[in-house]
Structure 1
């Protein structure tokens, strides 16, 4: 096959030369060595994309140029000689070609949603500060946390929970890796919560939970169970002692997250310790842990300051001793509340006779609020009060952000911030450089309440100003959050529309849907462009009813914004959208008509909707079985993808190539392409293609055919999770089909029926996918002897034009199976016709299935010679790629025919292998729930060499061991697998997924 065009994604070069894809870091020696030999590559970065070529100089030597088509013109940029091609140079060229102005000076970098990342300061424990109270009695309690899987520190605000836990972490030795995550209300979305949790662990143990990260990257809101399972498994495999702190958990009110965390805690490995701080009790089932003394708890009564601790704290804060009666009075009034003591210390600073000052602090909330307002805020200079009130609405802030929220003439925010921190006004630095800050939660709440009371018109204005500044710094998620709080829906929808096409190009369908559904319905309905992309995302993910409603809203919205410069493109865009919806509804002829009209109406410039219509046309070529035309079409679309930087185009092309490869019988190429699509799941730095779930189903199907059941089941379960998390019912259905087939091979008929029924139900609203799933269900019924159900399916199927070209579930071949069970003679003309069509269209991969069935049909009518001739053709083709289940799933009639083939010397090695595998007893499905541990690593190495035909002496040479040692390993392998020969051992190992 042709070598794929090298691609640079951000700062990583991805090479695919027909073997395993290779990644090279831009700027590394390997990168510059590769440039000396390369002729070109495509680049996709945060700020743009281009195609690079190496060109000769007139005076000798070579240099690199970048090309990109924009506004109908081919633009170019000089990159330089190979040594000049740094990551920064590539990014700068991409921005220039895209027409993006140079980045303005900005505060410390912070990640954004459009450039997926996390706020790193949430993953940092608070730094040690002067004036901290040493609390040795509580540190002794905390040291027991390493003996338990879970420790809770629960108390109201201001009791010193965070300070205590952070102090404990600093006492731990280097043999314990400690991670930190500060939570807030925005983390109530399960995907976000678990993404941050995994990121916190990766701060101290890089790479841990990478599979979970990949699963979360494509997750639909709330659907994170597979990722949590993957994380538990990763922690179980981690050799390090790990402690993770979840700070401020009281902000997490999501029942889903609490249930997921309960499951997570249940299966924590012994070397992992979780510490949670919260103002409220957790909604977790803790009784079992308490009963087994596996739960540590520190409560408000434990955290209350004793008289001695209060005296020590006040001495630290005031720099002097207070009389015992004053200390007693403060402890009594604050009830040992640390924050109350701190507030009291601030209020009495500078007083000539502080011990005589009455302290108006009580245990009731009203008194606490009054105290903070009257005795803290009111004591500050006017410009400090103004600063505190106007910045309290921010979850985090830096000086440049604060500057835009203050009125003209106010002191510079940086100097005010320095004063606020020096005055210890409940401000918390979020990084070591002290650039980003937040307020103590309680203090922030009081300030927000005060602002609403005194200036009710200001909060919306402040939120709007903050949103504008954050948007300018590319902090899109935070900008949209402030738009929400300001209820500035017009601005919010304009910003979402600004990003939505790029999100679609990158395949970020779940983000498009999430943002659209945050808007009030009336606002959403009036926005043409947003509804176009919203409808497309919904349709691609199988939400057809919602997609149709959004499409109708887009059509109605054409009455608005008549001055929109893109107005002329709307008819073509609506036709393109209609083609996408029609294709997912199974109305193929209409889809082609709509797509054709869209291509006529839309100009040949960058447009994801034009690409969508083009993709529909390509899919139709494949559905009609035109393999060569499909391949040529796909090669052209890869050029489009490289030019437009469209990840969704890459994903579609790659997925369709797998289908084509399987149809053509190029199984090795299909495996390679599927693995290429799935590779990002193991590298959290790479985006996960939206087609990953379908690629998993296809690769799992191939593994199933090769009797690698463990790999097939594991991969199909993973693919199901990917589909579940992005809301793709198609991906869930097709992975369920593979799971059902594996269970049937295991002999678990009931579980197989349940999984297959579930697959059919998932795609009940998607006509084509529904019929494919039903075709597989009919085959399963035949395997289980349910002829009545199969005949009912046949009656229904014959009422519609048949689906032939799908790699999976070809309806004519399912009909042939039913005929074989009732009247084999009826199957022969149908199969002869299918054989001729497959050869004509180049669908050689489907000939194995066709010919296996045709051989059975000839045998059933007594044409034994023809049966063996056709079977010989099928076996010769299947042996190359170890395709076995096509034959074995046909049951005893095929086994009888294989025995006759063996007696005639037809494909003797492969036939013997098939019969050996068939003779193995069904393996319980439960055995596949975990990786097999039957064989040691060395035994597996020996078995792999046996499988490729090496004799004992050659194995000894390969592994640098004695021949007698090889014999010992083989004896152990035979015993563990319950076999008596090398051939049986290899067959059993393949059956058990050990090879």
Structure 2
């Protein structure tokens, strides 16, 4: 019935079986005529036939080959649960749609609903068939974020997505926009209620008749064609011997205008037709959302449960059989009307009786391995011993499957004093908190783990060391992470695959920051094979991302790009794990693309992945992405926009306690302010950077050691601007010694370029050309184009001189030609300070071409570039260029910024 390790109940995806449903041809014909609308709304009072009609239409849609996802909405759906079911329902279409959305949700919950919606839409764009999403009883939704999520899905929906809502509310959320664009089709009670012939047909189908036309008309008029009312009357008639006009006891008020007569019907039915045994059976069963014979026998203590269920099913009144697959016994739910009536009576039972019912239900579900339902009932009953036992039983499988958010929720509901006694629960809780980015909670759990008396075996010590090092890595303390994990570098074959995978990834990242690049890659690729954690959500693709990190830190950008491209190919072949991978590693691909001067590719990846990068909070990924963004804006001379990005980086650095990000931002701020001609601001940024560097002056062979490098590099830049070339040269050479020792190819090449410029400014021309020659020898194999372009006209002039040397190889010659061509045709930092301070003039009138407006609309609706290309039947590259031009015209720095500015200018609604 459900996935044992999640809160998902598969029967909530199941419509009624549809036995004995009245064919409603006139309504089905109408639905078919309106099936291309974005939203089909079936609204009417309870029992008006909305669900039955939707179930009939579902069958015809499936018969035609369309895809249908059905979800029974519940009043206790919170935003995360609703979105989880939505992702799982979409995943059922082909196993891949909704995977990335689910991964986002499992880590970030309600805080990532926009990213979740974008992932769903992008997946649906790649799905070839029409998809009908049926949400039954949408009026039950109480949480505003759920309504907002559905509004976003409807606003951004691709042409193949159609949402079908059944609701007691004619206006479940604002529909004016959909109506204005003729994207909604509505059926209300006026259309849903039976006509006279349907009332007669339905009565006959219920085993009532033959009835004279006067009696049929009386039933029809008194019930106002209300399907549930006709069904209730049919039940009464079956238990009445003499039926004649005027003899029926039917409340006279039409339910279409006033629904409070429902209890009158049920009270009459209960009093006249149910025995005390039958009523007690139904009331006790109402404690469960879904039930079958075995469960009912336990919670009602009635051995006749199967007989009673068959009776009620045959009466087609109280219970609704549900489509289910693979279950030995059928599952049922109550009709919503009668279910509410029964739950009201259930809540009036004595408290001890309610507790006993839920204890019995919890233990029955636990015995069947249906842990989500077992935990729900045991928590309600206060059976904490069973609850703790069940959570502990599922915690490890949930970690392996990446079900972090639900696991955090369950563990968070346990008594702390109980949690402290369970080492396994503490370990799994730490996994979940680290995966979801709550470092404070993770640190407290790690302290509890280390203090636990059972944390003494080799396996638990190894796992707790991994968790501690992972936490340190997220805090950017790579030296401490390396110290913690070094004793565990050699892993026996018996180690848990997930733990081994984690150790190798964290160890490799820490080794890379210590300058041990080859060793880091050897850790990740034993015997030349990319390692993975078998039977977990982690794949070799994640390890490839860490390999790319080692190359980016080293400055081997070509290799980083190659690794990332292979990883992306693998992800596209697997069609899963993209969101996880992008959030963890896209910053490295962005850095590599920028270094190679593929600004369009770098900007495109920033547009698509920056939100996920910020959500994942991987220090190196965040730093590389944001600094590449600043450099792109500098290259485009959009300096005010670059400062806004740096302000955002400062906010992230403060929120995440990432001093290295703050240091990189200060270094870039120094450069931007120099470009703007604002030397006092540049010096202020440099003073702040020097103060920060002083706090880390003792750090070496770790990520924090980079802070001192940024400070010295910024000081050299200011010395150059001030004309103090001797000081600049001295600082460059000091930094070169460190970079060479640690194998930092990118830093070494950049420093040789600056050394060459300083020597040239001191009129040491031969030495300058020799230094530039060294820079070329390092940069050419890795295609470090921006290392030269970003340094301006003198660097390009020196390249011209190096190009004419006889010791230049063919590959180096081609590389120099590539850089010079880029410098001649594109933007570099070669202009004078005065020219660099001129910003693009953005008047109040921004004119976009029709194509740009079309693309901007899709961008504002969170379409990926690939989805836009598919929608508009053009290439990805075309979309990238249009997006870049749109951003330039609007002076925007992000998709969200472009959307906001476009709306302010009246370009978007």
Q: Structure 1-normalised TM-score? A: 0.71
Give 1:326 deviation, angstroms.
Answer: 4.2
The 2-side partners of 1:380 and 1:729 are apart by 66
The 2-side partners of 1:808 and 1:744 are apart by 26
Q: Are 1:824 and 1:860, in contact at CA under 8 Å, matched by a contact in 2?
A: yes
Structure-2 residue corresponding to 1:912: 817
Quick check: 1:896 aligned with 2:896? no
Give 1:631 deviation, angstroms.
Answer: 4.2
Give 1:290 deviation, angstroms.
Answer: 2.4
Structure-1 residue corresponding to 2:363: 468
**Counterparts of residues 32-47 of structure 1 (less than 5 Å):** none
Give 1:474 deviation, angstroms.
Answer: 3.6
Give 1:352 deviation, angstroms.
Answer: 0.7
The 1-side partners of 2:231 and 2:341 are apart by 16
Quick check: 1:300 aligned with 2:195? no
The 2-side partners of 1:665 and 1:640 are apart by 21
Quick check: 1:142 aligned with 2:142? no
Give 1:317 deviation, angstroms.
Answer: 1.7
Give 1:884 deviation, angstroms.
Answer: 1.6
Structure-1 residue corresponding to 2:438: 543
Structure-2 residue corresponding to 1:657: 547
Call closer, same or farther: CA 1:513–1:900 in 2, change over 3 Å. Answer: farther
Deviations 1:454-504 (A, max 9, x none): 454333333333333333444333333333333434432332233334444
The 1-side partners of 2:462 and 2:91 are apart by 47
Q: Are 1:507 and 1:647, in contact at CA under 8 Å, matched by a contact in 2?
A: yes
Structure-1 residue corresponding to 2:777: 876
Structure-2 residue corresponding to 1:849: 750
Structure-1 residue corresponding to 2:586: 696
Larger mean CA deviation between 153-162 and 889-898 belongs to: 889-898
The 1-side partners of 2:53 and 2:870 are apart by 48
Call closer, same or farther: CA 1:705–1:684 in 2, change over 3 Å. Answer: same
Q: Are 2:47 and 2:228, in contact at CA under 8 Å, matched by a contact in 1?
A: yes
Call closer, same or farther: CA 1:461–1:649 in 2, change over 3 Å. Answer: farther
Call closer, same or farther: CA 1:864–1:187 in 2, change over 3 Å. Answer: farther
**Counterparts of residues 725-874 of structure 1 (less than 5 Å):** 734-767=624-657, 769-785=658-674, 786=678, 787-799=682-694, 800-801=696-697, 806=703, 811-813=708-710, 815-822=712-719, 823-874=724-775
Quick check: 1:625 aligned with 2:515? yes
Deviations 1:820-857 (A, max 9, x none): 33244334344334434444344445433333333333
1:153 match: secondary structure: strand
Call closer, same or farther: CA 1:715–1:312 in 2, change over 3 Å. Answer: same
Give 1:345 deviation, angstroms.
Answer: 1.1
Larger mean CA deviation between 693-702 and 289-298 belongs to: 289-298
The 1-side partners of 2:38 and 2:873 are apart by 35
1:853 match: secondary structure: helix
2:40 match: secondary structure: strand
The 1-side partners of 2:497 and 2:88 are apart by 35
Q: Select 1:318's aligned residue among 207, 214, 236.
A: 207
Q: Are 1:392 and 1:447, in contact at CA under 8 Å, matched by a contact in 2?
A: yes
Give 1:160 deviation, angstroms.
Answer: 0.8
Give 1:176 deviation, angstroms.
Answer: 7.0
Q: Are 1:680 and 1:688, in contact at CA under 8 Å, matched by a contact in 2?
A: no
Deviations 1:701-744 (A, max 9, x none): 11222233343234344443434556768755654444444344
Quick check: 1:708 aligned with 2:615? no
Deviations 1:203-255 (A, max 9, x none): 56776566656655655334132342344345456665554332222233322
Quick check: 1:484 aligned with 2:379? yes
Q: Are 2:663 and 2:710, in contact at CA under 8 Å, matched by a contact in 1?
A: no
The 2-side partners of 1:227 and 1:836 are apart by 47
Q: Select 1:437's aligned residue among 302, 327, 332.
A: 332
Q: Are 2:558 and 2:592, in contact at CA under 8 Å, matched by a contact in 1?
A: no
Deviations 1:965-986 (A, max 9, x none): xxxxxxxxxxxx99xxxxxxxx
Call closer, same or farther: CA 1:689–1:286 in 2, change over 3 Å. Answer: closer
Structure-1 residue corresponding to 2:144: 255
Deviations 1:496-528 (A, max 9, x none): 233334444555544433333344677667766
Q: Select 2:286's aligned residue among 385, 392, 398.
A: 392
**Counterparts of residues 915-954 of structure 1 (less than 5 Å):** 915-921=820-826, 931=865
The 1-side partners of 2:310 and 2:60 are apart by 30
2:290 match: secondary structure: coil
Q: Are 1:542 and 1:729, in contact at CA under 8 Å, matched by a contact in 2?
A: no
Deviations 1:637-691 (A, max 9, x none): 9999779877669788555433323344554543454456556754677556956
Quick check: 1:405 aligned with 2:299? yes
Gaps of 5+ in 2: 829-839, 841-847, 879-883, 886-909
Structure-2 residue corresponding to 1:159: 48
2:68 match: secondary structure: strand
Q: Are 2:561 and 2:593, in contact at CA under 8 Å, matched by a contact in 1?
A: no
Structure-2 residue corresponding to 1:84: none
Q: Structure 2-normalised TM-score? A: 0.77
Call closer, same or farther: CA 1:217–1:576 in 2, change over 3 Å. Answer: closer
Call closer, same or farther: CA 1:836–1:684 in 2, change over 3 Å. Answer: same
Q: Are 2:48 and 2:189, in contact at CA under 8 Å, matched by a contact in 1?
A: yes
- The structure richer in helix per residue is 2
Q: Are 1:159 and 1:339, in contact at CA under 8 Å, matched by a contact in 2?
A: yes
Q: Are 2:121 and 2:157, in contact at CA under 8 Å, matched by a contact in 1?
A: yes
1:284 match: secondary structure: coil
Give 1:349 deviation, angstroms.
Answer: 0.8
Call closer, same or farther: CA 1:854–1:369 in 2, change over 3 Å. Answer: farther
Instruction: Give the length in aligned residue pairs.
Output: 826
Quick check: 1:358 aligned with 2:249? yes
The 1-side partners of 2:362 and 2:566 are apart by 39
Structure-2 residue corresponding to 1:375: 269
Q: Select 1:288's aligned residue among 161, 165, 177.
A: 177
Gaps of 5+ in 1: 1-108, 945-976, 979-995
Q: Are 1:779 and 1:814, in contact at CA under 8 Å, matched by a contact in 2?
A: no
The 1-side partners of 2:35 and 2:870 are apart by 34
Q: Are 1:210 and 1:684, in contact at CA under 8 Å, matched by a contact in 2?
A: no
Q: Select 1:720's aligned residue among 602, 610, 614.
A: 610
Give 1:910 deviation, angstroms.
Answer: 1.8
Call closer, same or farther: CA 1:252–1:680 in 2, change over 3 Å. Answer: farther
The 1-side partners of 2:11 and 2:537 are apart by 30
Q: Are 2:586 and 2:609, in contact at CA under 8 Å, matched by a contact in 1?
A: yes
Call closer, same or farther: CA 1:809–1:224 in 2, change over 3 Å. Answer: farther
1:275 match: secondary structure: strand
Structure-1 residue corresponding to 2:319: 427
Deviations 1:292-342 (A, max 9, x none): 443222223432334443333223323414355544554455443211221
The 1-side partners of 2:13 and 2:78 are apart by 17
1:318 match: secondary structure: coil
**Counterparts of residues 11-50 of structure 1 (less than 5 Å):** none
Q: Are 2:735 and 2:751, in contact at CA under 8 Å, matched by a contact in 1?
A: yes
Give 1:761 deviation, angstroms.
Answer: 1.9
The 2-side partners of 1:934 and 1:582 are apart by 41
Q: Are 1:678 and 1:695, in contact at CA under 8 Å, matched by a contact in 2?
A: no
RMSD over aligned Cα atoms: 4.8
